[in-house]
Amino acid sequence: MKRFVDLADFEREEVLSLLELARRLEKQPEPRALAGRILALLFLNPSLRTLASFQAAMARLGGNSFVINPGRGSWQLETRPGVVMDGAAAEHVREGIPALASYCDALGIRAFAEGKDLASDLAETTFNAMASLTEKPLINLESALNHPCQALADWKTLDDLAVPRAGRFVLSWAWHPRPLPLAVPAAALHMAALRGMEVIVLRPEGFALPPVVMERARQAAARSGGSVRESAEREEALDGADVLYVKEWAATERYGDAEADARLRSALRGWCVRNDWFTRAAPECRLMHCLPVRRNSAIADEALDSARSVVQREAANRLPVQMAVLHQMLRS
C-alpha cells in the first residue's frame, strides 16, 4: 500500500483484510516489524488521539516517528499557492514537505478544511496540493473531507461489538457552538455504507451532507448490499437503530457564512443526544462519536457515560488499525 488517504480507494475485501491484520497484531504483537523505519507526522491542526496513537503504533512495531506542529517549535508553514509571504509563515509547504519527506519512510499529514469555499474543500485542495509534493507513502491524518483512520477504527469497533452487517446505522448531526468540518461525517457515512449497513443521515434542514458525498456513499452501499438515505425525523430514523453515530458539522447550505450558520444552529440546541433519544432504538443500540466531544452540548453526560457509549473503544481501536496500515505500508 502506497497511500492511505480515503477508504473509498479500497474495495470492501481490502478493508476486511486490513481489519484482519489489525486483529492479528492485537493478538500477536510484532515488536520488530518496522525496525529502522521512520514516520513523519505533520499536524497543521491540533490532535490528541491521532497524534498519540500513530506515535504509539510506530513504537509498538519497532519503528520511530517525529512530529512537526508548524508555528509551535517549527516554522509556520504557508499552504496557499502564489501568495506573497509577508505574514506569519516563514516557509512554504513546497519546500517544507520535500525536506520532511527526505528524513522519513512515510509521511502523515493533518490539514483540516478551510471552511470557506465548499467546492475547494470538496476537492481536497489543500491536502492534495501537499500530497503532490512527495512520492513517499502517505497517510491522511484528517483532511477537509476525510478521516480514513477514524473510519477504519470505527469499522473495527462495529465488528468487535458484533453489530450486524445489515444493521441500521444512524449518523446524526449534533449541536456545537461553531461550524465544524465535514471530514468525520463523510468518512463515517462511507464506512457504514461500504460495510453494507442500512444508513440514515439524520440532520436538520440546512445541514444535509453535500450531494457528491451522499452519492459516493450510495454507490458504495450498492456494491455492498447496504443502503443510504436522509431524514430530518429523529423518531423515525432511530426506530430500531443498532448504532447512533453522533457528529457536529457545518451548515452546508450556508457553507463559509459564519453568521448564517450561527442563525441556523441557534434554534437547534435540542440536538444534544440524551437517553430518551434511544426510546425506540434496538435495546443494544450503541452510541458512537469520534471524539473530542463537548459534554452537554453535543451529547449529554447521561448518554456519554451510559453503557451504550463506545467512544473509548473507538479511540482505543485507532492503535491496532493504524498498526495494520503502517505494517502494510512499510513492512518490506
Catalog residues that contact ligand CP under the rule CB under 6 A: 47-50, 142, 150, 290-292
Least distance in Å: CB of 315 to ligand CP? 7
Cα–Cα distances (Å) from 235 to 57, 126, 239, 241, 280, in that order, read 40, 39, 6, 10, 7
Residues 319, 62: Cα–Cα separation, whole Å? 14
Query: Which of 290, 303 has the CB closer to ligand CP?
Result: 290
Query: Which of 281, 319 has the CB closer to ligand CP?
Result: 319
- Give me 262's grid cell: 450561527
Least distance in Å: CB of 138 to ligand CP? 17
Residues 211, 41: Cα–Cα separation, whole Å? 32
Query: Which of 37, 147 has the CB closer to ligand CP?
Result: 147
Least distance in Å: CB of 144 to ligand CP? 14
Residue nearest to ligand CP (CB): 50
Residues 319, 311: Cα–Cα separation, whole Å? 14
Question: Left if phi > 0, otherwise alpha if psi is -120 to 50, otherwise beta: which for 287?
Answer: beta
Least distance in Å: CB of 47 to ligand CP? 3
Query: Which of 41, 163 has the CB closer to ligand CP?
Result: 41
Query: Which of 181, 206 has the CB closer to ligand CP?
Result: 181
- Give me 47's grid cell: 490532535
Strands (E), 77-212: 77-78, 91-92, 106-110, 138-140, 168-173, 198-202
Query: Which of 65, 224 has the CB closer to ligand CP?
Result: 65
Give the CA radius of gyration of the chain.
Answer: 20
Least distance in Å: CB of 212 to ligand CP? 23
Query: Which of 143, 150 has the CB closer to ligand CP?
Result: 150
Tell me if 33 sits within 8 A of 7, measured CB to CB: no
Least distance in Å: CB of 150 to ligand CP? 5
Residues 144, 45: Cα–Cα separation, whole Å? 11
What kind and span of H or E run contains 270? none
Query: Which of 291, 316 has the CB closer to ligand CP?
Result: 291
Main-chain dihedrals φ then ψ at residue 41, nearest 5 degrees: -120, 110
Give strand pairing partners of 247: 173
Least distance in Å: CB of 260 to ligand CP? 26
Local structure of 48: helix, strand or coil: coil
**Alpha-carbon torsion angle 86, 92, 95, 101, nearest 10:** 150
Residue 71 amino acid letter: G
